[in-house]
Amino acid sequence: MFTKKNTLNERSNMSGKKSAGLSGIKYILIFGLSCMTGNTFASVSIQHWQAPSGAQVYFVENHDLPMLDVEVDFAAGNGFDDIVKPGVAALTNSLLDSGVDGLSEDDISRKLADIGAQKAEHVDADRSGMSIRTLSSTAELEVALDIMSRILQHPLFPEDVLTREKTRTIAALKEAETKPESIASKAFNKAVFGSHPYGKSLEVADVEKIQKTDLENFYHAHYNSKGAVVALMGDVTRAKAESIAQQLTGSLQTNEANIHIAPVTLEIKATELRIPHPATQAHVLIGTPGIARNDPDYFPLYVGNYVLGGGGFVSRLMNEIREKRGLAYSVYSYFMPMQQPGAFQIGLQTKKEQADEAIKLARATLREFVDKGISEKELKAAKDNIVGGFPLRIDSNKKILDYLSLIGFYGLPLNYLDEFTDKVNAVTTSQVHDAFKRRIHPDAMATVIVGAPEEKMQAK
Amino acid sequence: MRIQLIKKLCWLLLLLTYSVQAEVFEKTLANGLKVIVKEDHRAPVLVQQVWYRAGSMDERTGTTGVAHVLEHMMFKGTKAVPAGEFSKKIAAAGGRENAFTNYDYTAYFQQLHTSKLPLAMKLESDRMQYLQLTTAEFIKEIKVVMEERRMRTDDEPHALLEEKLMAAAYQEHPYQHPVIGWMNDIEAMTALDAQEWYKTWYAPNNAVLVIAGDVQAKEVFAMAQLYYGKIPAHKLPVRRNFSEPAQEGIKRITVKAPAQLPYLIMSYHAPTVRDAEKDSMPYALEILAGILDGNESARLNKTLVREQQIASEVGAGYDSTARGPSMFTLEGTPSEGKTITELEAALREQLTKLVREGVTPEELQRVKAQVTANEVYKRDSVFYQAMQIGQMESIGLTHKAIPVMLRKIQEVTTQQVQDAAKAIFNDDHLIVAVLDPQPLSDKPKHAGGPIHVH
């Protein structure tokens, strides 16, 4: 209600592009300066414990607003799909709320709406989970938690809902196959990760094969209490948080699940894939396997990427391709750190006829960056932004909840966040240069161009 | 039980409304700049937003898109702050910044640590007065805008459909033109057009400054006086009033674009809030949108997607706040094997049922409960709170209408919802737009296989 649905034409739409660098970085830090002003979020302390169920729990107690955010995650993302049964992980996630003992899918959404609660499921290559946002007043809180607890621990995966959702998934897949950005992303993942689970894209035939027993088996294998990470942020006491964590995970399976994804082959060969498309713009992706979440090169690469293509309007790619020449509206680079090395990716969209010029420029910018590194001035600008902008990353319950889940899921040290700005400040120009030289090889990158100029479909 | 719950929620809402409003302060400077401060001390951060009451609806035929082009040019430098420096200075201060243009307004924002407000004010006030529009910068930036149009509209079938729907829906009102402008107008635009726009609309007496976050209102007012206070006001053009002629009969359009699935949009002309206290239909329509599409088991999804399986996606939407008129919109994708005609019939059946039988008290209360909870959740985002204030100010309702509207929403009755449905869902005021999907090419997809080189 009162939320504008109108088209907003922004100067740059970077939000959906993960262009702000390593989009998932989360941390907590105490700010001397702001402690004096009495802000609740100036210092945020994470409480961590293991629930009797075995689940790892991360909690920040905050009573500013009468609301609670809870998220539960499992190592049950698409990367855990059986190689011959892709799509099972995603459907298992999306059907969690399709019915539990005593509650149909309609009962679930209706009861949550009655108390104004918001529920969301999410799945990526590593993680699968759900989150809920509710008022913290007792009546609302208890209903929300009861439903969340039943969804997580007693899903029924009804046959009729599965049939319907398979049909809808197939329709969405077919639609995606006509969209240049989807075609590009699918081809890019395959070019970068080959047969590794991170490179796998879902096909219509895969979805058609999926049976109810596949979901049940996947659920029982991967949704277990020992692998569960519970994050809580908001208006409950520690004692209540403890009981919530147990309520949400106490009835899960206790078996040991495989939580490891196979290693990614880091070295790839140079490839260029040109896929015709009638769109007016070519969609270009250039990249290679990048870094894992716990990588020792993480900070030099993160800070370096800010200079290359992560820093909004002030990055080198933005300057060369957009500001100087007006070749694109959006151009960016980022690392996507995952359990195994996720992609390093450069992306842009430009009018077909000038695609080759833009690609040439992007490659030259990357090559110069890797060959010569960054200046002290650029390093300082990057640090100023990342360190100075730190308070903006922890200024809401929602953001802090995301950070708690991330720390918990990837086993980052609890003080990781306290040390974040120190680690950024410690990065040197030679570390950036060295890390990029070792990790990013401009001569061995995958390039995908969807909507490539047809007349130039020859080797350059 | 349910009644008690609702009573409690209403009480909670009232309480919140008071506490929220208690923290909103406003002051108008001598030059006409309205300054609004929303204090929120949870985190040591703030957002500055400057809203100009000039959007694409203030444009003229031939230069559509100029409001948005000027928005881009606002980052291209002043005498004191050369091109590119604005962004660099904000970045160096740890800030995030951007801008957006809509039918009704153009707005600029920066999010920063609370100590950086002087910098943000210095930069924003400088470009309110001293923008240097050069042809060299314009020639580059206009290309960026063309790329933006290609990305957002030309290559996005659903956006294209919406653009053409708006163009067909309005005969007189400038909402018929896309915010980003028609490509031909963008191509023909000159730096002079942008300059003219800037001179006409960018003045303190046509702007609202919203500051939200960890600030003290008194200090903000003093600082605003220091940085913005000396900018001279200037005479604004008389704004034209538009009164869209009645449609007098159903309109249908078809748009062909490369896609796999067809898409249907049905839009009914509808009013917006003009007097927050006296109006009632817009609130009933907000509730109605919630009853149709406010949650996964709301009428449309429950019936069309889950039960009848006529649609794979379906939605309803209505925006009660705008300078101009609004539309109540239903949209969706038919399921495989179902047609646009079947989907339209199914949607119409839902509307007929609404008009004939009305809505249940449970449905009404469910939407109200969601509105109440959202008011609490809203406070988790300083940016969104500032956004809401800025929007309401820009369209002329002022932020003081926010609590009034929330109260009015809670007062809506089932009878009012049914009456609103009766009044709105009339074929004479309906426009139907259909996306007719075209194959990507004559060749089978990936014909001959993609070419690998290197």
Is the confidence at residue A457, as pLDDT, over 80?
no
Number of H helices, E strands in chain B: 16, 12
With cut-offs at 50, 70 and 90, classify the pLDDT of residue A11.
low
Chain A residues within an 8 Å CB radius of B367: 1
B55-B57-B61-B64 Cα dihedral, nearest 10 degrees: 40
Q: Is residue A239 part of a domain?
A: yes
Q: Which residue, chain included where needed, has tokens 């399709």?
A: A98
Among the listed residues B48, B67, B95, B296, the one whose alpha carbon sits nearest the alpha carbon of residue B200: B67
A-chain residue closest to B317, CA distance:
A5
Is the confidence at residue A32, as pLDDT, over 50?
no
Q: Which residue, chain included where needed, has tokens 């006529």?
A: B310
Q: Which residue, chain included where needed, has tokens 């199914």?
A: B346
Among the listed residues B331, B447, B381, B397, the one whose alpha carbon sits nearest the alpha carbon of residue B111: B381
Q: Length of chain B in residues, anyone?
A: 454
How far away is chain A from the Cα of B323, in angstroms, using its nearest Cα? 13
ipTM at complex level = 0.90
The rounded percent of chain A whose pLDDT value lies above 70 is 90
More confident residue, A87 or A40: A87
- Give B 89-118 residues with CB within 8 A of chain A: 91-103, 111-115
- The answer to whether A351 and A448 are in contact (CB under 8 A) is no
B-chain residue closest to A14, CA distance:
B98
Chain B residues within an 8 Å CB radius of A7: 102, 152, 159, 162, 178-180
Chain A residues within an 8 Å CB radius of B219: none
Among the listed residues A193, A216, A8, A251, the one whose alpha carbon sits nearest the alpha carbon of residue A92: A216
Other CB atoms within 10 A of residue A304 CB: 31
- The answer to whether A225 and A254 are in contact (CB under 8 A) is yes
Phi and psi (nearest 5°) for B253? -130, 155
Q: What is the DSSP letter of A341?
A: -
How far away is chain A from the Cα of B259, in angstroms, using its nearest Cα? 6
Which are the contacts of A183, defined by CB distance < 8 A and separation ≥ 6?
Answer: A176, A177, A275, A277, A283, A450
Q: What is the CA radius of gyration of chain A?
A: 23
Among the listed residues A112, A101, A97, A221, the one whose alpha carbon sits nearest the alpha carbon of residue A161: A97
- Please give the structure tokens belonging to residue B18: 């008071």
User: How remote is the C-alpha of B167 from its chain's centroid?
Assistant: 17
User: How remote is the C-alpha of A281 from its chain's centroid?
Assistant: 26
List active site positions of B.
Answer: 71
Phi and psi (nearest 5°) for B27? -155, 140
- Interhelix angle for B361-378 vs B414-424, to 10°? 90
Q: Is residue A388 part of a domain?
A: yes
Other CB atoms within 10 A of residue B83 CB: 18
Among the listed residues B277, B267, B419, the one whose alpha carbon sits nearest the alpha carbon of residue B358: B419
The rounded percent of chain B whose pLDDT value lies above 70 is 92
Q: Is B157 helix (H, G, I), strand (E, B) or coil?
A: helix
Last residue of a domain, one of A218, A249, A280: A249
Task: Report the C-alpha gap between A79 and A262 in whole angstroms.
Answer: 9
Task: Identify the burial level of A138 via C-beta atoms within 10 angstroms of its C-beta, where 0-12 means exposed, 13-18 middle and 19 or more buried.
Answer: exposed
- Please give the structure tokens belonging to residue B410: 């809670």
As a whole number, mean pLDDT of residues A349-368 equals 97
Average pLDDT, chain A: 90
Bridge partner residues of A134 (DSSP): A68
User: How remote is the C-alpha of B396 from its chain's centroid?
Assistant: 15
Other CB atoms within 10 A of residue A363 CB: 16
User: Which domain range does residue A413 map to?
Assistant: 271-459
Task: Report the C-alpha gap between A425 and A302 in whole angstroms.
Answer: 12
Kindly state whether residues A159 and A20 are assigned to the same domain: yes
Check residue B450 and give its pLDDT: 42
Q: Can you point out the beta strands (E) in B196-318? A: 207-213, 251-258, 263-270, 311-317
A-chain residue closest to B178, CA distance:
A7
Q: What is the CATH number of the domain that holds A135?
A: 3.30.830.10
pTM of full prediction above 0.90? yes
Q: What is the DSSP letter of B444?
A: P
Chain A residues within an 8 Å CB radius of B111: 392
pLDDT 10s digits, A219-271: 999 999 999 999 999 999 999 999 999 999 999 999 888 889 999 999 999 99
A-chain residue closest to B139, CA distance:
A326
Size of interface A-B (CB pairs under 8 A): 303
Contact at CB, A458 and B453, closer than 8 angstroms:
yes
How far away is chain A from the Cα of B30, in angstroms, using its nearest Cα? 31
Among the listed residues A390, A412, A404, the one whose alpha carbon sits nearest the alpha carbon of residue A71: A404
Phi and psi (nearest 5°) for B319? -120, 115
Task: Report the C-alpha gap between A207 and A166 in whole angstroms.
Answer: 6
Task: Report the C-alpha gap between B390 and B109 in whole angstroms.
Answer: 11
Split into its structural domains, chain A has a count of 2
Kindly state whether residues A209 and A286 are assigned to the same domain: no
- Picking from B103, B147, B405, the nearest residue to A349 by CB comes out as B147
Is the confidence at residue A5, as pLDDT, over 50?
no
CATH 3.40.630.10 fits B24-228, yes or no: no
Q: Which residue, chain included where needed, has tokens 């007349």?
A: A455
Task: Report the C-alpha gap between A286 and A192 in whole angstroms.
Answer: 9
Task: Report the C-alpha gap between B289 and B374 in whole angstroms.
Answer: 15
Kindly state whether residues A242 and A280 are assigned to the same domain: no
As a whole number, mean pLDDT of residues A181-196 equals 96
Domain boundaries, chain B: 24-228, 251-438
**Low pLDDT (below 50) residues in chain B:** 1-21, 442-454
Task: Report the C-alpha gap between B271 and B422 in whole angstroms.
Answer: 14
Check residue B443 and give its pLDDT: 44
- Please give the structure tokens belonging to residue B304: 């069309």
- Give A 97-116 residues with CB within 8 A of chain B: 105-110, 112-116
Which are the contacts of A138, defined by CB distance < 8 A and separation ≥ 6?
Answer: none
Is the confidence at residue A454, as pLDDT, over 80?
no
DSSP output for A210-277: --HHHHHHHHHHH-BGGG-EEEEEESS-HHHHHHHHHHHHTTSB-S-----PPPPP-----EEEEE--
Check residue A10 and give its pLDDT: 53
A-chain residue closest to B216, CA distance:
A37
How far away is chain A from the Cα of B191, in angstroms, using its nearest Cα? 15
Q: Is residue A200 part of a domain?
A: yes
B12: contact with A, CB 8 A cutoff: yes
- The answer to whether B169 and B176 are in contact (CB under 8 A) is yes
- Please give the structure tokens belonging to residue A200: 């796998």
- The answer to whether B330 and B303 are in contact (CB under 8 A) is no
Check residue A258 and give its pLDDT: 84
Q: Which residue, chain included where needed, has tokens 């007929």?
A: B352
Contact at CB, B155 and A34, closer than 8 angstroms:
no
Q: Is A67 helix (H, G, I), strand (E, B) or coil?
A: strand
Q: H or E element: which one contains A185?
A: helix A180-193
Contact at CB, B376 and A135, closer than 8 angstroms:
yes
Contact at CB, B140 and A324, closer than 8 angstroms:
yes
User: How remote is the C-alpha of B239 from its chain's centroid?
Assistant: 21
With cut-offs at 50, 70 and 90, classify the pLDDT of residue A452.
confident
Task: Report the C-alpha gap between B319 and B302 in whole angstroms.
Answer: 23
Check residue A43 and give its pLDDT: 62
pLDDT 10s digits, A104-142: 999 999 999 999 999 999 999 999 999 999 999 999 999
pLDDT 10s digits, A269-295: 999 999 999 999 999 999 999 999 999
As a whole number, mean pLDDT of residues A399-414 equals 95
A369: contact with B, CB 8 A cutoff: no
With cut-offs at 50, 70 and 90, classify the pLDDT of residue A311.
confident
- The answer to whether A100 and A156 are in contact (CB under 8 A) is yes
Among the listed residues A432, A264, A448, A423, the one whose alpha carbon sits nearest the alpha carbon of residue A347: A448
Check residue A262 and give its pLDDT: 93
- The answer to whether A264 and A340 are in contact (CB under 8 A) is yes
Bridge partner residues of B327 (DSSP): B269
C-alpha distances out from residue A163 to A159, A209, B38, Å? 6, 11, 49
How far away is chain A from the Cα of B90, in angstroms, using its nearest Cα? 8
Check residue A105 and give its pLDDT: 96
A386: contact with B, CB 8 A cutoff: yes
Chain B residues within an 8 Å CB radius of A326: 139-144, 147
Q: Is residue A264 part of a domain?
A: no
A276: contact with B, CB 8 A cutoff: yes
User: Which CATH code fits B251-438?
Assistant: 3.30.830.10
User: How remote is the C-alpha of B319 from its chain's centroid?
Assistant: 9
- The answer to whether A123 and A185 are in contact (CB under 8 A) is no
Contact at CB, B144 and A9, closer than 8 angstroms:
no
C-alpha distances out from residue B379 to B115, B180, B385, B386, Å? 22, 31, 7, 10
Is the confidence at residue A460, as pLDDT, over 70?
no
Q: Is residue A257 part of a domain?
A: no
Kindly state whether residues A232 and A315 are assigned to the same domain: no
Kindly state whether residues A172 and A308 are assigned to the same domain: no
- Give B 122-151 residues with CB within 8 A of chain A: 139-148, 150-151
- Give A 151-190 residues with CB within 8 A of chain B: 164, 167-168, 170-172, 174-175, 177-178, 180, 187
